[in-house]
Amino acid sequence: MISAADSVPESSALRTPGYRTFLLTFMLAMMADNIEHVISYWVVFQKFHSAALGGFAVVSHWLPFLVFSVPVGALNDRFDSRRLIQCGMVLFIIASVGWGYFFVTDSLQVWHAMVLLTIHGCAGVLWGTSSQMLLYDIVGARSLPSAVRLNATARYLGVLVGPGVGSLIMRTLGPTWGIFVNTVFYLPLLLWLVRAPYGRHFRGVAAGPKRAVRGLADIIQTVRDVREVPVVGAMVLLAGTASFFIGNSYHAQMPGFAQDLGHGDPGATYTLLLGADAAGALLAGILLETRGSWLRTEPASALKMALLWGCALFAFSLIRVYPVAIVVLFLAGFFELSFSSMTQALVQLNAPDTIRGRVLGLFTMSASGLRAFSGVTVGLLGSITNIHLSLAVSALAFVTVAGLLLLRRSPQGA
């Protein structure tokens, strides 16, 4: 079922002019994204103490990826990816300013939180798919695995630094002024893209085919277009099952996990719990970039790392000892970056160029959009039972699927 992609000699993306600036501004925006999560999730949890709202935070954050990823990918086939990313940055700023307004007026209601969380999700889908499209243009095929890996590392570095900065901001400025200060971190990427010398439109490359976006029919057509590319289909399936069953839904429930572990205060112990899996992912990114020969970018490696990630989160759901939970989350982060960066790189390398945007949109829909359902499995199911049981069931379901995919592949060889 799964075959390895053609081997592409890799080179470091850091050697590509302009990529270092892209990476730095990307990391700052990702840090701002996570600072907003830390501040808003904490205030919402303290005000409403609602696991169901935590579940909605996951659903509203990722449902736009499910609905709009392929249309946004189609827009990238025809329009300037730089401008689409900028639109995403503007929506992020609007969401942060909105949180700040309700904090200042002390008028936050559940429906306010729901609207702001949805705006944040729409910003993410514009940013995510368009960034993938621009990334390929900046570095090319040879450096693409390195660039995807470095971007994933930067994303986790933002996750790692974001909670620390967010916690520091909350303790020094308070959540109200902290959320306003956070908008500044979105500006470098927004401003750099005004004249960044990259993208199809900068190079004057002809736009992709003017094919109408027809919702579900367009998604089905894109699936048909990539049917003859087994690697793409396999990686879309793997990323989709990870998102459907687990995603990052346990992040929104982290205040509850922290409280059950006896470290629910907004100090260093809570921050360390939030950043543990990000630290593991950071280590994975560094090792894969500097000593990547020990784990090649191929489907077999992606499947094995995905299986280990599911096992780590299953273990975390059962642990009630704080130091052990930190270690297990660290390992989970290591495995997650390893398999997620591989799946994206393999899809990028094998996507047909004329419909690259749509293919990347399909991958984003699977890898990110299906996380909306993990909000149901971990969040809403957690409100009925408890968040430990819901995460355990979800992780076990993913481990089962990943294990079956690996077993199905084994007879075909590496």
DSSP 255-301: HHHHHHTT--SSSHHHHHHHHHHHHHHHHHHHHHHHSGGGS-SSHHH
CB 397 within 8 A of CB 269: no
Please name the residue that has the structure tokens 């190079």: 203
Asked if 65 and 364 touch (Cβ cutoff 8 Å), the reply is yes
Inter-residue contact 312 to 331 (CB < 8 Å): yes
Domains of the chain plus CATH, in order, are: 13-412 (1.20.1250.20)
- Read off the pLDDT band of 292 (50, 70, 90): low
Burial 393-413 (b: 16+ CB within 10 A, else e): bbbebbbebbeebbeebeeee
pTM for this predicted structure: 0.78
pLDDT above 70: residue 210: no
Measured distance between the N- and C-terminal CA atoms of the chain, rounded to whole angstroms? 12
pLDDT, residue 153, reads 81
In whole angstroms, give the CA distance from residue 38 to residue 53: 15
Chain position carrying tokens 């593991």 = 280
Higher pLDDT, 163 or 129: 129
Q: Give the model's confidence band at 3: pLDDT under 50 very low, under 70 low, under 90 confident, else very high.
A: very low
Tell me: pLDDT of 139 over 50.
yes
Q: What is the mean pLDDT of residues 395-413?
A: 78
**51-65, 293-307, 356-370: range with highest mean pLDDT:** 356-370
Pair 360, 71: CB distance under 8 Å: no
With 90 as the cut, is the pLDDT of residue 185 above it?
yes
Residue 377 has pLDDT above 90, yes or no: no
Q: DSSP letters of 165-214?
A: HHHHHHHHTHHHHHHHHHGGGGHHHHHHTTS-S-SHHHHTPPP---PPP-
Mean pLDDT of 359-385: 76
- pLDDT for the residue 193: 94
Task: Measure the CA–CA gap between 347 and 237, rounded to whole angstroms.
Answer: 11
Q: What is the mean pLDDT of the chain?
A: 82
pLDDT of residue 21 exceeding 90? yes
Nearest residue to 375 via CA among 157, 63, 74, 65: 63
At 63, the pLDDT band (50, 70, 90 cuts) reads: confident
What is the mean pLDDT of the segment spanning 365-390?
Answer: 74
- 145-149, 174-178, 212-216: least confident range: 212-216
Tokens of 74: 């189609």
CB of 232 within 8 A of CB of 343?
no
**Closest C-alpha to 235, from 350, 312, 120, 131:** 350
pLDDT at 305: 93
Yes or no: say if 380 and 252 are a contact pair by the CB < 8 Å rule: no
Rounded Cα distance, 332 and 334, in Å: 5
Q: b/e map of 300-311 (b: 16 or more CB within 10 Å)? A: bbbbbbbbbbbb
Please report the pLDDT score of residue 116 as a whole number: 92
- For residue range 315-362, what is the model confidence (pLDDT) as tens digits? 998 888 888 989 999 999 899 988 988 898 888 888 887 788 889 999
